[in-house]
Structure 1
Amino acid sequence: MSFSFEQPPDELTWYHLGPLLNAEAGRLKYNPEQYTVHGVSNNAVACCWAGLLVDGDGGLVLTDLGRSMLADWKTSPVGQRWLADQTALDEETSTPAAPAPPAPQPVPQPADQLDLFGAAL
């Protein structure tokens, strides 16, 4: 996907951020089971068409333009607020270690079960 159908956006919006941040982190891999047409989301394809992403090794990677625009966005007041909100949200939703599973309960023996039914009648 190294073609460009659209002009690059004047500024990055929520529409571009997911694919660009995932590409920057190396997480934008092709998944033809989830995205049967292109292997990536429509937002990622639009970023390719705008010249922000390009085909890489097993997924999409940032172009020089995409990397530059993302860096500018991260240093902007809007980007700083968004990143701070995401960090706070990540800290808020991080789960503590899972509790230990409960100790196994003894399995009732057939005779015990019969006694329970008899006692209930």
Structure 2
Amino acid sequence: MTFSFEQPPAELTWYHLGPLLDAEAGRLKYNPEQYTVHGVSNNAVACCWAGLLVDGDGGLVLTELGRGMLADWKASPAGQRWLAEQAALEEETSAPPAPSAPTLQPVPERADQLDLFGAAS
């Protein structure tokens, strides 16, 4: 996928960010079972067409344009907010679970309470 059919976007939106962030992290690999037509999501293909991604070794990688636009977005207030929110979510999900309330243990029964109804008959 080395063609550029569209003009690059004026700004990055949610539509572009997933594939670009995945490509930056090296996670944008072809998966023909999940994406039977192109091996990647439609959003990733649109990023290729816009000149933000190109074929790499087993997946898509950022172009210089894609890398530059992603860096600008990360430095923007909106990007900083989003990245902070994602970091907080990751921290929340990776934190060890809070200690649970102690479980109540049954009180050992006394021998005279074991046969409540047998003693009355």
Q: Report the TM range for the smaller structure's normalisation.
A: 0.7 to 0.9
Query: Shift of the alpha carbon at 1:12?
Result: 0.2
State the one-letter code of the partner of 1:30: Y
Offset at residue 23 of structure 1 (A): 0.3
Report the equivalent of 1:102.
Answer: none
Give the match for residue 116 of structure 1. Answer: none
Residues in 2 aligned to 1:89 and 1:83: alpha-carbon distance in whole angstroms: 10
SS in 2 for 1:10: coil
Gaps of 5+ in 2: 98-121
Give TM-score scaled by structure 1 length: 0.78
Q: C-alpha distance in 1, partners of 2:4/2:49?
A: 4
Deviations 1:10-40 (A, max 9, x none): 0000000000000001110000000000000
Aligned counterparts, 1:1-121, within 5 A = 1-94=1-94, 96=96
- Compute the RMSD of aligned alpha carbons: 1.1
Larger-gyration structure (1/2) = 2
TM-score (normalised: structure 2):
0.78
The structure with the greater share of residues assigned to helix is: 1
Structure 1 stretches of 4+ with a deviation exceeding 3 A read: none
Query: 1:93 deviation in Å?
Result: 1.6
Q: Deviations over 1:51-95 (max 9, x none)?
A: 000000100000000000000000000000000000001111225
Residue 96 of structure 1 and its aligned partner are, at CA, apart by 2.9
Residue type at the aligned position of 2:4: S
Percent same amino acid among aligned pairs? 88
Give the AA of the match of 1:10.
A
2-structure distance, mates of 1:92, 1:13: 25
CA distance in 1, matches of 2:20, 2:92: 24
